Structure 1
Amino acid sequence: MSQLRRAKTWEISESENESDSEIRQTVSKDDEQTTQAKISPVIAQAKDVQAGCSTVVPVPLPDSETQDVKVKDTLSLPSTSVPGTPSPRKRRRRTKEEIDADEQNAEAKRKAREKIRKERAQEKENKRQEQQARKEAAERLKSYRPENCLKFLTVCIDTALLQDERCDILLETLYAMEWKSIIEKHHLTHTITWKRELPQGEDKPSPVLEEQILMVLTLNEFLDMVVSIKHIQEKDIGEVAVDSLFRQLSEYLNSNGEKVVTLVVIGPNPSSWTLWSGQHGDQTLRSQMGVEYIDIEEALVFLQLYKNTSVIFLEGWQHLIDHVCAVTKALSKRPFKQMTEKDYLPFCLEGSWASGVRVEKDGTGLGQVWSRQIQQLNRVSPAVAAGITSAFPSPQLLLQAYRDLDSDDKRKRLMADLEVKSGDKERRVGPNISSRVYRFFTSPNPHLVLD
């Protein structure tokens, strides 16, 4: 056997006519034929299974050949068991109650979705309205600023003042400052009034007449008014002329009590009338039906007390023009100050601020507000305020303690003996601070001076 093997090897190695490629082709062809011969029984078995055969007889292969047959682990036998398809069950018909219940559920879901949609739309509309309201409020506040408010003010001048040629200077000044002015007939003669146009969005009717009124008089007209007041004080009303300026002023104030009239007299101040009368002759004032300096002083007091009318004396029309401009600017600042200076306590603010105390909705911070309110009084330190607020945690408790006492002396000395701790030192509140706090909380006079 060994000789035969050597001869076979020798023959292969000595083959000069065949190349390496031809040898590989020959070997690959032999392998394909061998593989085809081994796979053909398997393919025939698969075809039999597909044709409906229930049993398959495997073709045994020799052991030596089983090891050589490998179809690259990609071929596999199909499953011999064919599962049966279950027959569909008959669908059960729904009852009318179930159909109604499903329709009700669908309707409820539709209504819930519709409700949610409406709520979202309403919330969006409310948000839009709030934004619009804030925008309008900001625009309205902007229009109330002094520089913008001057555009809505109109200076109204009575036609009787045009009789004086110096009134043209007033009109030229208003025109130069680009302020609105109008000439019209007034119920009270010789007057200058102001009219304001309100911005859009206000509930009040526009325009609004300001309560400030300037009544411009010459010196002789004012002296005639002094004479009328003197007759009234002497209860000689019949001597007062029907067309006198004082009677017109009285009737106007009786029907318009909210108006504030200021008499502007173009002439020297009464304090300098002695010198002025000496320069222009001693009979200047005495010639006005016996008017004396004391009569003028009594007339000024009478106008102030009974008519709430003040009198100012200006040397000439230029001073009158300056005064009209000053009043106009003051009126332009008035609405903005009224909007910004609301009736809130300066020590209790809505937002956080270095000098204020924030009060939450649950009442947190009211104790600090009460302590800060006590500190508004002069010479009341934070330690003294802390001692008072610790004894009386709220203003209501302090007022109740005042009501429980039977005399003013006891009420004034209620907090005099309270202890105050300032560092390591201890002292009392004292009768002075106790009395001032009592007057502050119980006095009906808003203009009372505590110190």
Structure 2
Amino acid sequence: MTTLHNPTIWEISDSDNDGDEGAQGDLKRSSNAKLALAPPLSDGYKRPSQTRKRRSKEEMEADKEKGRGMKEARERKRAAKELEKEEKRKQQQKRKEAAEQLNSLKPENCLKCLTVCVDPALLQQEGSDILLGTLSSCEWRYIIEQQQLPNSITWTRNLPQQGEDGSATMEEDQVVQVLGATQFLDMVITVKKMIDSGGGDSAISRDAAKVLTLLVTESRPDYRRRGHETIQSKYGGENLNVEEVLVYLQLYKNMSVVFLDGWQEVTDHICAVTKSLSKRPLKLLTEKVDLPFCVDGSWASGVRVEKDGSGLKQVWSKQIQQLNRVSPAVALCVTAAHPSPQLLLQAYEASGSEEDKKRLLAGLVVEGEGKDRRIGPDVSARVYRCFTTQNPELVLD
């Protein structure tokens, strides 16, 4: 088979000696050669710009729906982020408020919220300026106003978190009444007459919700002897025991009586009460709801029982150890033979006579570091009485 090649088309120049015409002839031959070698265009060929397919209406709607879905997803993601930021902001605000509240409950800050209320009648007593001078030097707030109980001192606390106007005042339950020697002796005589006559409490007028402390100021060392002489002379010469009145006030009226030597000691007492009140809010916050003597931890001989029941065997062993002269080794021996109280009760029921029930645990061997021993009839009988008696006042040992 013979392959035909496109022949090169030559153009013959009129003059071979003309250089310019020769160059143009070569250019024409090169162009004609390219045209002759180029493949012909087929009838079905179209340029790329003319081959883009027109989309249908359904495809356009699907693209729009896809775009809307992506936009909604972005919006939901943005909203979730905003919600998360808002939640974090709220938590930070709560922690900040809790920290501020805890900081406000510190004693040094609570002192700024306390106000010492002094009855004007106390200013007539000699030496009362020591109290006012001390309160001023400590930069504690105090006011002079009429009190319900004469010659008394009370305390109020500002509560910024309460009230419609953002502040409120709460009265503390502590009340201190300062009495001179003569005033106290008159009160003792009145209370003694009330005790003897079986009368009411008209001699002692106070708020039952308040804790009252009587401060008796007397600088003379022979006050007790002179006090007894004064009481006997006013009471008609009969024997009157001051301690009897003091015990009555403390037990029946919840009133304490403190004898102090002058206003300096009175001032020290007022300062001590003020500092104690400043520590009260933080103590109330840190106190647990549970009973304070129910401590937790292995050092307190406590056993923790989990939700799956683990720890019940240790509790059963601790219960047996509550009996006198029952060591942990003896309790472990009993719990190994009878893993629960119910099983021990069933063993008692299955025993024959009363004597057999009392000696049910006597033969159990207690393993020790040295020689093994048995529980014995005494401990066995006490365990039996503890778990089967119907008398709540029975003495086990």
TM-score range, shorter chain: 0.5 to 0.7
Looking at structure 2, the residues matched to 385 and 122 of structure 1 have their Cα atoms a distance apart, in angstroms, of 62
Change (3 A) 1:381 1:207: farther
What does residue 60 of structure 1 align with?
Answer: none
For residue 116 of structure 2, the aligned residue among 133, 145, 155 is 155
Q: Taking structure 1 as reference, are residues 113 and 331 closer, same or farther at Cα in structure 2, changes over 3 Å only? A: same
Structure 2 Cα separation of the partners of residues 262 and 176 of structure 1: 25
CA contact (8 A) 2:190 2:203 kept: no
Cα contact 2:191–2:203 (8 A) shared by 1: no
Q: Which amino acid aligns with 1:190?
A: N
Q: Residues 36-185 of structure 1: matches in 2 within 5 Å?
A: 47-53=31-37, 80=39, 84-85=45-46, 88=51, 91-95=54-58, 103-185=64-146
The separation in 2 between residues aligned to 1:284 and 1:336, in whole angstroms, is: 46
Spell out, residue by residue over 1:214-247, the C-alpha distance to the aligned partner (whole angstroms, 9 max, x if none).
111122222222232233323464xx9xxxxx73
Aligned CA RMSD, in angstroms, stands at 5.3
CA distance in 2: counterparts of 1:215 and 1:339, whole angstroms: 29
Q: Distance in 1 between matches of 2:341 and 2:51?
A: 90
Alpha-carbon spacing, 1:103–1:47, altered in 2? closer, same or farther (3 Å)? closer
What one-letter code is carried by the residue in structure 1 that aligns with 2:185?
Answer: L
Q: Which residue of 1 aligns with 2:214?
A: 263
1:317 aligns to what? 263
Q: Percent identity?
A: 39
Q: Distance in 2 between matches of 1:105 and 1:263?
A: 85
SS at match of 1:207: strand
SS at match of 2:159: coil
> After superposition, what is the alpha-carbon deviation per residue over 1:122-170, rounded to whole angstroms, capped at 9, x for unaligned?
2211111211221222222222222332222221111121121311111
CA distance in 1, matches of 2:192, 2:87: 66
Cα pair 2:120 2:146 within 8 Å, conserved: yes
Distance in 1 between residues matched to 2:219 and 2:137, nearest whole Å = 28
What pairs with 1:207-226 in structure 2 (closer than 5 Å)? 207-226=169-188
Shift in Å, 1:260? 1.0
Contact 1:230 1:299 in 2 (8 A): yes
Report if aligned partners of 2:194, 2:203 keep a CA contact under 8 Å in 1: no
Q: Residue 265 of structure 1 aligns to a residue in which SS?
A: strand
CA contact (8 A) 1:223 1:288 kept: no
Q: TM-score, normalised by structure 2?
A: 0.62
Report what 1:290 is aligned to.
236
Q: Tell me the secondary structure at the aligned position of residue 197 of structure 1.
A: strand
Structure 1 residues 331-340 or 212-221, which shifts more? 331-340
1:198 aligns with 2:159: yes
Is the 1:145–1:336 Cα contact (8 Å) retained in structure 2?
A: yes
Gaps of 5+ in 2: 1-25, 349-357, 387-397
SS of the aligned residue for 1:186 comes to coil
Distance, in Å, in 1 between the alignment partners of 2:134 and 2:175 is 19
- For residues 328 and 306 of structure 1, the distance between their equivalents in structure 2, rounded to whole angstroms, comes to 26
Q: Shift in Å at residue 182 of structure 1?
A: 1.3
Deviation at 1:340, TM superposition (A): 2.8
Q: Do the aligned partners of 1:230 and 1:295 also contact (CA within 8 Å) in 2? A: no
1:238-277 to structure 2, matched below 5 A, reads 247=202, 249-250=204-205, 252-253=206-207, 257-267=208-218, 276-277=225-226
Cα distance 1:93–1:283, how it changes in 2: closer, same or farther (>3 A)?
closer
Match of 1:21 in 2: none
Distance 1:85 1:102, change over 3 A: closer
**Number of paired residues?**
328
C-alpha change, 1:283 and 1:424, in structure 2 (3 Å) is closer
Distance change (3 Å), C-alpha of 1:273 and 1:165: closer
In structure 2, relative to structure 1, the CA distance for the partners of 1:230 and 1:125 (3 Å cut) is same
The runs of 5 or more residues in structure 1 that have no matched partner are: 1-41, 55-79, 241-245, 392-396, 406-412, 439-451
Tell me whether 1:308 sits opposite 2:254 in the alignment.
Answer: yes
Higher relative contact order (CA 8 A, sep 6+): 2
**1:47 aligned partner, one-letter code:** S
**CA-to-partner distance for each residue in 1:166-195, whole Å, 9 max, x for gaps?**
111111111122222111111122111112
| 8 A contact 1:157–1:184 mirrored in 2 | yes
